[in-house]
Structure 1
Amino acid sequence: MFINQFTRKFSTSVRHLKAVKVKNAKGSSSHEWLSRQLSDPYVEKAKMMNYRCRSAFKLLEMDDRFQILKPGQVVIDCGAAPGSWTQVAVKRVNSDASDTREPQGRVIAIDKQQIFPIDGAVILGNVDFTTSQTQSKILETLAGRKPHVVLSDMAPKATGVTHLDNENIIHLCYVTLRFAAQVSEVGATLVVKLWQCGQAKQLETDFSKFYSKVKYVKPNSSRTDSAEIFLLARNFKGLIKQ
């Protein structure tokens, strides 16, 4: 199977979407956002546990349930700013060597925005993951190692036009899939964020061409009024090159 054939080998499947109830994603005023932040227990919990934002609990919840991250693994965190997923990954794979009894992993964090330093992580800030230049830089940083986990919390800047926003985030999912399929260790895991939309069913089917287990997940810490969901793809099959 050639990697450049992956966009031509798709069919439709809905089996894992049944557990996800589709909701309408609507914007809120700055006043509503502030009120929600002040009443959100995860915001306060993030402060108490020294996470940079509440999104840390989404990855923590997924990892506790599915055992995505293990000591000694290589992890690539795409769309990492401000760095809460990176903080979780660093501790879970022991890339900061804080546990001398466990193997030391490696975490690479990438984002268009600046990311302030995180002990145990290699930071690639102010770069665009979707460009070939940045992906080449990631490969250089890997120094021959293959990632066991690729995470993407990337989301495009909202345009306010629903169908366009959906297309843009789906595009990011495919860019991440293409990259992960070319560089990952066999058996690796891929997690991408998207919004509930008509293209989600096709995306699941496309990911299943490369991963044995694919399902949609909505962590409890993901706000109930948000259309945000995560596609979890496990056990990368590898590529057959001819």
Structure 2
Amino acid sequence: MSTSRRVLTYCLKRFKSSSQWLRRQEADPYVEKAKIYNYRCRSAFKLLEINNETNILQPGMKVIDLGAAPGSWTQVAVQKVNANGCLPYKPQGSVISIDKLQIFPIQGATVMSNLDFSTIEAHDKVIAALNGKQVDLVLSDMAPSATGIRELDKDRIIALCYMALRFAALVSKKDASLLFKVWDGKEVPVLETDLARFYNTIKIIKPNASRSESSEKYFLAKGFRGIQRPLENNQWG
């Protein structure tokens, strides 16, 4: 096949994929709800559903949102932990949002844009922002940019999960929780076993706002035990 024909074929596939995405967005009720409730994207409803089931977000809590852009989970967290002080008779919590990408300001949140949470620089900035405190909950709705190679993409999201776990272990107080996204794959049971080394209970959740064709699900790990031994698994560092 000539180069020009390959380029044409690629462009047609991209156009078809984009058209399918647009049709799906137009038919998605959560996209419209996000506009109505002023959330930055539909993923806000995933966290709202998970919280309705588990009550992991409470006024007064300290929360860190990893890979937060564009910020819809941060918006939910700010509301639920009263980081914006809108509930005058409830404890006021705090939310820190981190992402390599730009996050536009969110009232009530400390936003750290253009920052890789896995770096020493990010850890130092978070520690400084916490001012000697530890966190109650670490959130992560992160997913890698898709390569189109299914197994590679699954390996990449597992790597992100371990990075989130390692970060949470460094900043969480005893009995804290961790919520993160994963895709179905052969490494998921191993990840669950590793989580159980550090947390008392593990729950797998598939919110209704997750698209039915998506293999995504969420691990909710509760009851952080503290670091009992070094994070020696090569996948973690």
TM over 0.5: yes
Indicate whether 1:218 and 2:206 are aligned.
yes
Q: Given the alignment, which residue of 22, 33, 36 partners 1:45?
A: 33
* Inter-partner Cα distance in structure 2 for 1:162 and 1:36: 21
* Inter-partner Cα distance in structure 2 for 1:45 and 1:80: 20
Identity of aligned residues (%): 53
Which structure is larger by alpha-carbon Rg, 1 or 2? 2
Q: Given the alignment, which residue of 178, 184, 189 partners 2:172?
A: 184
> Which consecutive residues of structure 1, in runs of 5 or more, have no partner in the other structure?
1-26
Q: When you count helix as a share of all residues, which structure comes out higher?
A: 2
Q: Given the alignment, which residue of 110, 116, 140 partners 2:128?
A: 140
- Which secondary structure state, in structure 1, belongs to the residue aligned with residue 175 of structure 2? coil
Equivalent residues in 2 for 1:41-190, closer than 5 Å: 41-190=29-178
**Residue-pair matches, total:** 216
CA RMSD of aligned residues (A): 1.4
* Inter-partner Cα distance in structure 2 for 1:135 and 1:150: 13
**CA contact 2:66–2:98 (8 Å) conserved in 1:** yes
After TM superposition, which residue ranges in structure 1, 4 or more long, deviate above 6 angstroms?
Answer: none
* Inter-partner Cα distance in structure 2 for 1:226 and 1:191: 18
User: Which shifted more, 178-187 or 38-47?
Assistant: 178-187
User: Once the 2 structures are TM-superposed, how far is the Cα of residue 235 of structure 1 from its aligned partner?
Assistant: 1.0
Q: Given the alignment, which residue of 219, 224, 227 partners 1:236?
A: 224
Q: TM-score, normalised by structure 2?
A: 0.88
Question: Given residue 234 of structure 1, which amino acid in structure 2 is its aligned partner?
Answer: K
User: Once the 2 structures are TM-superposed, how far is the Cα of residue 185 of structure 1 from its aligned partner?
Assistant: 0.9
User: Once the 2 structures are TM-superposed, how far is the Cα of residue 240 of structure 1 from its aligned partner?
Assistant: 3.4
User: Once the 2 structures are TM-superposed, how far is the Cα of residue 42 of structure 1 from its aligned partner?
Assistant: 0.4
Q: Deviations over 1:73-110 (max 9, x none)?
A: 00000011110000000010000011110011000001
**CA contact 2:118–2:167 (8 Å) conserved in 1:** no
